[in-house]
A and B are shown apart, each in its own frame.
Chain A
Amino acid sequence: MKEPIKCVGLKKTFVKKDKVVALNNVSFTIEKNEVFGIVGPNGSGKSTLIRILSTLLIPDEGSASVFGHDVVREYSKVRPLINRVSVDAAFFKGISAWENLRYAARLYGLGGKEAKQRTLDILSQLGFSEKRFYEPLEDLSRGMQQKVAIARAFFTSPMLLLLDEPTTGLDPRSKMEVQNFIRKSMSSNGLTILLTTHDMNEAEVLCHRVAIIIKGRFVTVGKPNELLEKYKKPNLEQVFLEVTGKDWKEIEYES
């Protein structure tokens, strides 16, 4: 089987009032079973990259493939293999978690019974009580909605998960529950994960490799301990501050 993710020279520019270069020549490959983290300041292009890999956005230049399938030309082969969590838990807020997930299950060809069982199993591991499962989502807290979003991504058993800030806005306990759940899924399912986060500690403990993205460019990539060594810092947060403090217009690549 081909690499879970392979990007070559990805570029994406948005034109609103001004031109915004969201991705500028991004190339990388992720191995099977790897958890690959992307950290970077707000607006550096993380979500744009995830959208391209999710077949929701078409790059201007370069190519991206998921398990060897091009995300633009062979999107229908990519879609069954992936799922995604975004920062904002996007749901039909008026109906219940169960009604939302039943809808999602059908889109992925999952039967109702099986879907329900899997979801309740995931949600209980996330510390979400079954009682709230049938309430309208708008009555649930943000953290609880995020847990439902995580269940929606995991219960279709994807081969590749795209997690866009899955723990942003969660309280410390919920955050830990989500991180533990991700860690457990990593070891048991042979799953590959692309994760973006603003939490350097999370990147350090969850990810096999971490990339720092600035203004749409990967400025450094490596295993967490390699990065600490390279920049001679005690933790990733310090590395992040060091790297993002530079003026990247001046400096080209740092390999």
Chain B
Amino acid sequence: MNLKAHAYGSIAFIERNFALIKRYLGWELVFLTYNVVNALAIGLIGARMGKEMVLYLIVGAMVWGFLSILFHEISESIAWERWEGTIEYTFMAPINRVTHLLGNCLHAVTYGVIRSSLILIIVVFFFGISIKGANLTALFIILVVSGLSFVGLGLMAAVLPLLSTEKGAYATHIFEAVLLLISGVYYEIEVLPIWIRPLSYISPATYTLRAMRAALLDGAGLGELLPTILLLLGVGMVLIPLGMIVFGKAEFYAKKKGKLKRSG
């Protein structure tokens, strides 16, 4: 199967997901408002400590928002189909599972980048902070590249709703909560108890946050950030295929046990 066929097939999922967003636009506004207010509230915690602290916290809110969106979009794309019962139709269609999942991931990343950028713009405007010294290109590149590793994790999380609609959602939330704790979203990981820290080092979010703060606060150049970018890229290259394999195994198991059916 060539790249062009993948790309063409992926459109199905992107188009469908945006049709669903359009249909439930009210909820979009609610979530966006919630995300913005949340980022503002967190930024305000640092207001007395100066601009640096505000930006530091806002990067946390932004990356956290991005990661949550990717996770939810990917596992939701499976959970929703199970709920509606369309999953059987999607699964029996002559489309490669890789194309199917890539389509959903591509949608999630596009959507996540748009939402996160919107939040950054609104928040910077609200605080009246100048980000002239920031390296926005680097910020954007890191966001997209980190998306690859988050997508890989998201694919593994999507296995859970495939096997059980309800319990799947529990597990996805717990997994996310652990990432929030270990990755230094609003603090340096050095404040964590020593026994948790090894987990911090294996979370791709830790490196994303560090690099984004360097780009936004210190205007770090692409050259300087290259090692992190390559690292995130590498992790994504490992996690995405791994996620696909795990998903494939889960699909086989579901077909063996009759788990794809919504009722019964």
Contacts and interface: CB of A to CB of B under 8 A. Distances in A.
A80 interface: yes
Given A92-B20, A99-B16, A99-B19, A108 B94 contact: yes
Given A58-B252, A82-B92, A106 B15 contact: yes
A88 B252 contact: no
A35 B40 CA distance: 64
Interface stretch (A49-57, A117-125, A196-204): A49-57
Given A54-B88, A103-B12, A108-B93, A136 B23 contact: yes
A84 B94 CA distance: 13
A82 B90 CA distance: 13
A104 B88 contact: no
A14 interface: yes
A86 interface: yes
Interface string A101-134: 0111011110000000000000000000000000
Nearest to A54: B92
Interface string B86-110: 1011111111100000000000000
B132 interface: no
Contact of A57 (B20, B94, B255): B255
B48 interface: no
| Chain B interface, >50% SS class | helix
Interface in A66-95: 76, 79-80, 82, 84, 86, 88, 90-95
Interface in B39-89: 80, 84-86, 88-89
Nearest to A84: B92
Nearest to B86: A90
Contact of A107 (B24, B93, B252): B93
Interface in B6-27: 8-9, 11-12, 15-16, 19-20, 23-24
B260 interface: yes
A14 B20 contact: no
A102 B15 contact: yes
A87 to B, nearest CB: 10
Given A90-B86, A93-B84, A56 B91 contact: yes
Contacts, number: 84
Nearest to B91: A56
B256 interface: yes
Contacts of A86: 85, 88
Contacts of A103: 12, 15-16, 19
A52 B84 CA distance: 21
B133 interface: no
A93 B81 CA distance: 11
Contact of B84 (A79, A84, A91): A91
A104 B19 CA distance: 13
Given A56-B255, A107-B94, A94 B12 contact: no
B94 to A, nearest CB: 4
Contacts of A104: 89, 93
A207 B248 CA distance: 38
B93 A56 contact: no
Contact of B93 (A58, A79, A88, A91): A79
A206 B256 CA distance: 33
B94 A92 contact: no
Given A51-B88, A57-B255, 8 more contacts: A56-B92, A57-B260, A79-B92, A86-B85, A92-B84, A92-B86, A106-B8, A107-B9
Interface of A: 14-15, 48, 51, 54-58, 76, 79-80, 82, 84, 86, 88, 90-95, 99, 102-104, 106-109, 136, 152
A-B pairs, 10 with minimum CB distance: A106-B12, A90-B85, A107-B93, A79-B94, A80-B94, A103-B16, A94-B23, A99-B19, A58-B255, A54-B92
